[in-house]
Amino acid sequence: MTQARGQGTEPGGGERDREDRDRAATVRVFIALAPPDAAKDELERELRRAYDAYPRMRWNRIEDWHITLAFLGELPVGTVPLLGPPLADLAASRGPVELALRGGGHFDERVLWSGIDGDVDGLHRLATDVRGVVKECGIPFEDRPLRPHLTLARARRDDPSSVVDVAAGLAGFTGRPWRAEKLHLVASDFGRGPGPIRYRDIEAWTFDGR
């Protein structure tokens, strides 16, 4: 039998091809700060017992830990470069933000996080300015209130108690202060495959203001 033009060799093949093309034409983007290695190492040591006790949790890679300032979602690939120059200008005009990691908690018994301490007011001002840049670029996004946190892991659907238990164990954690030295424009492969979520810097700018 002759195969009709445009049909895949398997049911739904054409739909999957379209989804792959759509994903190739967009990128999932957010703007964030990243703790320095020393701060991440400190929290990693605090979490070692939890890593051993709860191996089924979907732990984020330590090198991917970040504090989201603005989540932009799926953007057309050609739109992303618009953000570069104004974000570079913003970073050049600002000094580093003094922060620390402290305690832990969870969202809906599914997402485990560490809290943020230090110059939280300065963090909110920076997030407001970052979101202003995005709006000035004409890029629509969901402007949710900032809840500063560092996402550590996600529970599997059949194991919500793990996140609650680990969050309780982090309650007394107080990390040493550190300086957020750079503003990061980040891409995520969330939802693009069965493996762990991966992040990569599209670009990053040093805070040069004093």
Candidates 106, 124, 149, 184; catalytic one: 149
At 137, list the tokens.
Answer: 């670029």
Dist CA 184 CA 158 (whole Å): 34
Dist CA 106 CA 166 (whole Å): 9
Question: Which residues make Cβ contacts (< 8 Å) with residue 185, sequence separation at least 6?
Answer: 29, 31, 80, 83, 84, 87, 201, 202, 203, 204
Dist CA 141 CA 37 (whole Å): 30
149 annotated active-site? yes
For the annotated catalytic residues, the residue numbers are 66, 149
